[in-house]
Structure 1
């Protein structure tokens, strides 16, 4: 279980995501659903991802953030901003290619910014978690060749698992 969480706020079309503590894949389901809603909105003018209080971030979370950055660029023609004061987190984000889709700034931020914690999904199905993890890693693979080579075996394995789940569901429905 993760000891971290994601907080979110929105004001006049600017969306703020604050990742606090050790943020892992389990926190991504709510974030991924929120990103899908934001993608459909017309009045998006900016996005800030605040990693200044992040102590750990896994590759699934990085993949979901990459998806956010890519969608904002493609759909809304906006380059999102990422704030990070932890050199390890900044290096990890850059090594995964997030610098291609975010402007990464070393900035502490205003501690009085009001965000609300995204509640973790209660009864997350294995299939929903698998879809989020698979999609996040596919997104990371699209960012650069290094990621492609690093995550290809994992994505192939997750794809096999997803195919098996889909096959089992089809058998049950038949």
Structure 2
């Protein structure tokens, strides 16, 4: 698998995130920082998340995408668009309940915005744990399937302050 990267662009209030390769926890700090930038932008009109070149995406990254959708809906009443032509990715998104919080389409309209790499960010172990916990709680709130899939991880992370058994 190709090492994951996330690219971004903004043009006339449309924010684009493009996930490439194997998108994992290591990109979560940069993704979360960019999500905050998007939802705080005064000229924010729409969001497109392009998964056409995503080989794999972990649950923490999916949880952060759920966060983006929830914040977008709360702030401007807008469901972001997820783009993926791949059947395996569509099955994953549907199993997570993403059809409830995203417009999912097989192809994107081109943008003239030039994509740039999200800059890496360093987090402490506690910050990473907090981010993973938040992402998985958001996924658990989407449906019972997610609740059952992530309850053990969330419980373990919640108890991590008491011990290091996770």
TM-score (norm 2): 0.90
Asked if 2 retains the 8 angstrom alpha-carbon contact of 1:85 and 1:108, the reply is no
Counterpart in 2 of 1:76? 76
For structure 1, the 5+ residue unaligned runs are: 166-174
Q: CA deviation at 1:108?
A: 5.6
Superposed CA RMSD:
1.8
Counterpart in 2 of 1:160? 159
User: Which has the larger helix fraction?
Assistant: 1
Alignment of 1:39-78 (within 5 A): 39-78=39-78
Q: Distance in 1 between matches of 2:111 and 2:46?
A: 20
Asked if 1 retains the 8 angstrom alpha-carbon contact of 2:10 and 2:113, the reply is no
Counterpart in 2 of 1:28? 28
TM-score (norm 1): 0.86
Q: How many residue pairs are counted as aligned between the two chains?
A: 162
Q: CA deviation at 1:110?
A: 4.0
Q: Distance in 1 between matches of 2:133 and 2:120?
A: 19
Q: Distance in 1 between matches of 2:72 and 2:25?
A: 21
Asked if 2 retains the 8 angstrom alpha-carbon contact of 1:25 and 1:60, the reply is yes
Counterpart in 1 of 2:133? 134
CA deviations on 1:84-131 (whole Å, 9 max, x unpaired) are 01111111011101111111001165497521010221x321111111
Q: Distance in 2 between matches of 1:68 and 1:62?
A: 10
SS where residue 114 of structure 1 aligns? coil
For structure 2, the 5+ residue unaligned runs are: none
Counterpart in 1 of 2:144? 145
Counterpart in 2 of 1:13? 13
Q: Does 1:96 align with 2:96?
A: yes
Asked if 1 retains the 8 angstrom alpha-carbon contact of 2:11 and 2:113, the reply is no
